[in-house]
């Protein structure tokens, strides 16, 4: 997209599994977003083999937006499969990934359009994530940022509020289907964004594209489980790219591990960092178990 070019078509992909009540909140707010009359907005909701009444929630939403919304069923379990199934149906110049627990701001669609037009971007833009319910793991930065080699790829953007030009998929393929929610390696968004950056696409964080995370995690046990999954994801992500000969990721993995070891000397931080290093190792080991599997069963056609 050249500078000042108008965005004429946007596809929003929502993938979901067995969270009908949460999904209903997201879809209701998405339907209430302002739709610019000169923007072709397509919403693809992918049911990732749910076993409850998820389908009825999606079909009710589709009925309210004829010609704009569609239901897709993806039997293969895993967020990578589901997202790629949605991307394969996309007709938009820009594709937005919106997790089923991300509640969009009323200006969400307008802001996605505005940011891609303002920046002339053909890359990846991650949006701002605020809390819908307490607490944790939110991107509340209000300053715009562009990813560089010194940045840590994990957490730079949130995969549940992620937009990219369709040229990105043409360059790198879709999401790695070995990763993501529904698998043992929840690192699909970090991996996708980093591969796009390595392929020469700009990776940017924009606070103007706003969503609210309706994750429902409120207990210490739930928060601890989420932290463990993030650490496992980081270990798997590092292992994948180190094995691919990525020296920048080798250095990043080394410094992460070294910082962890140094923190073991601090009695207050030692238990935390022992767990962190342990789950990094688990993630690396899990990746080695699936490393020979294809990352894409069938690249999304765009």
Q: What confidence category does residue 187 fall into, taking pLDDT thresholds of 50, 70 and 90?
A: confident
What domains sit in the chain, N to C, each tagged with a CATH number? 9-213 (3.90.550.10), 220-290 (no CATH)
Between these two residues, 250 and 184, which has the higher pLDDT value? 250
**pLDDT for residue 134:** 58
Global pTM value: 0.91
Whether 4 shows a pLDDT value over 50: the answer reads yes
Whether 223 shows a pLDDT value over 80: the answer reads no
What average pLDDT does this structure show over 183-198? 91
What average pLDDT does this structure show over 194-209? 96
Report the range of poorest mean pLDDT among 230-234, 266-270, 290-294. 266-270
Q: What confidence category does residue 2 fall into, taking pLDDT thresholds of 50, 70 and 90?
A: very low
User: Chain-wide mean pLDDT for the chain?
Assistant: 90
List, for residues 110-149, the tens digit of each pLDDT value: 999 999 999 988 999 999 998 887 555 555 678 999 999 8
List, for residues 16-45, the tens digit of each pLDDT value: 999 999 999 999 999 999 888 899 999 999
8 A C-beta contact, residue 132 and residue 213: yes
What is the b/e burial string over 223-256, where b = at least 16 CB atoms within 10 angstroms of the residue's CB? beeebbbbbbbbbbbbbbbbeeebeebeebbeeb
């Amino acid at each position: 997209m050249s500078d000042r070019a108008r965005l004429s078509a946007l596809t929003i992909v929502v993938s979901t599994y067995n969270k009908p009540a949460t999904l209903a909140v997201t879809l209701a707010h998405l339907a209430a977003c302002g739709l610019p009359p000169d923007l072709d907005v397509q919403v693809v909701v992918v049911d990732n083999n749910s076993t409850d009444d998820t389908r009825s929630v999606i079909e009710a939403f589709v009925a309210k937006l004829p010609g704009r919304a569609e239901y897709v069923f993806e039997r293969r379990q895993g967020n990578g499969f589901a997202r790629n199934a949605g991307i394969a149906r996309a007709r938009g110049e820009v594709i937005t990934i919106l997790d089923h627990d991300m509640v969009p701001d009323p200006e969400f669609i307008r802001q996605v359009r505005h940011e891609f037009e303002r920046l002339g971007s053909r890359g990846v833009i991650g949006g701002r994530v605020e809390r819908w319910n307490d607490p944790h793991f939110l991107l509340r930065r209000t300053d715009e940022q562009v990813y560089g080699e010194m940045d840590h790829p994990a957490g730079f953007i949130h995969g549940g509020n992620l937009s990219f030009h369709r040229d990105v998929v043409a360059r790198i393929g879709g999401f790695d289907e070995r990763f993501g929610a529904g698998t043992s390696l929840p690192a699909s968004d970090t991996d996708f964004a980093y591969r796009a950056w390595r392929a020469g696409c700009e990776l940017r964080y924009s606070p103007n594209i706003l969503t609210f995370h309706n994750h429902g995690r409120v207990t210490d046990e739930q928060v601890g489980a989420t932290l463990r999954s993030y650490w496992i994801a980081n270990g798997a992500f590092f292992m994948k790219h180190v094995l691919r000969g990525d020296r920048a990721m080798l250095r990043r993995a080394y410094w992460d591990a070294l910082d962890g070891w140094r923190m073991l000397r601090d009695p207050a931080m030692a238990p935390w960092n022992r767990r962190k290093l342990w789950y990094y190792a688990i993630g690396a080991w899990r990746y080695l178990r699936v490393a020979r599997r294809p990352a894409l069963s069938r690249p999304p056609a765009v």
